[in-house]
Amino acid sequence: MAAKSNPRVKGESPPIVSSAHLVSDQSAEMSEFEFGLIVASNAFHRWVVHCMAAAGLKDLTPLDVVVLHHVTHRARDKRLADICFIMNVEDTHLVNYALKKLLSLGVVASQKNGKEVTYAATESGRAYVQRYREIRESCLIDALQADDALNRDIGELARLLRVLSGMYDQAARAAASL
């Protein structure tokens, strides 16, 4: 049974979705959002890997790149649990594997404080992140040609993504309790 089309402005295109069988009569927009998120997420992952390769660090996964960025963030030592919490990664093994890879490349260093291990970017890691930033400015930010209105829209989109991440987290907890 096909989902009824969501009431839209006459003449407007049908929703662009990846899973028509999931389109809800109550919110076709959520299916459109999810498809956009899938496509944007994959494009973002491809971007960070290529940008970091252009900066000189090749063969990293998207998670490796974002972990390096987070470890560099604010020049403070980070614990594995804190990295996972901030990045909303449930499987600590994935982040731990990324940290080991970054340690072996010499871009992250670890330090033991009692029972805890903390991680920080090395000088080499900070240099790669700085080069990444330069490439990002050149290839992404300059191409964006953002004006105040577009930057406001991007900020609002970021806010909505944070709200939706909370909704998805709550829905995941609800589904796990079924």
Q: What digits encode the pLDDT tens for the residues 77-136?
A: 999 999 999 999 999 999 999 999 999 999 999 999 899 999 999 999 999 999 999 999
Q: Which residues of 91-111 are buried (b: 16+ CB within 10 A; e: fewer)?
A: eeeebeebbebbeebebbbee
pLDDT in tens, 34-68: 989 999 999 999 999 999 999 999 999 999 999 99
The closest alpha carbon to 129, from 168, 91, 72, 78, belongs to 72
Diameter over CA atoms, the chain: 65
Secondary structure (DSSP) of 54-84? HHT--S--HHHHHHHHHHHGGG--EEHHHHH
Q: Which of 61, 69, 81, 88 is nearest to 164 (CA)?
A: 88
Model confidence at 8, pLDDT cuts 50, 70, 90, reads: low
- Alpha-carbon gap, residue 11 to 22, rounded angstroms: 23
> 5 φ, ψ to 5°?
-75, 145
Query: What does the alpha-carbon distance between residue 113 and residue 9 come to, in Å, rounded to a whole number?
Result: 60
Three-class secondary structure assignment of 82-95: HHHHHHCCCCHHHH
For residues 63 and 123, what is the distance between their CA atoms, to the nearest angstrom? 20
Structural contact between residues 109 and 120, judged by C-beta atoms closer than 8 angstroms:
yes
Distance (Å, whole) CA 145 – CA 139: 11
Rounded to the nearest integer, the mean pLDDT of the chain is: 92
* Residue 66: how many other CB atoms lie within 10 Å: 20
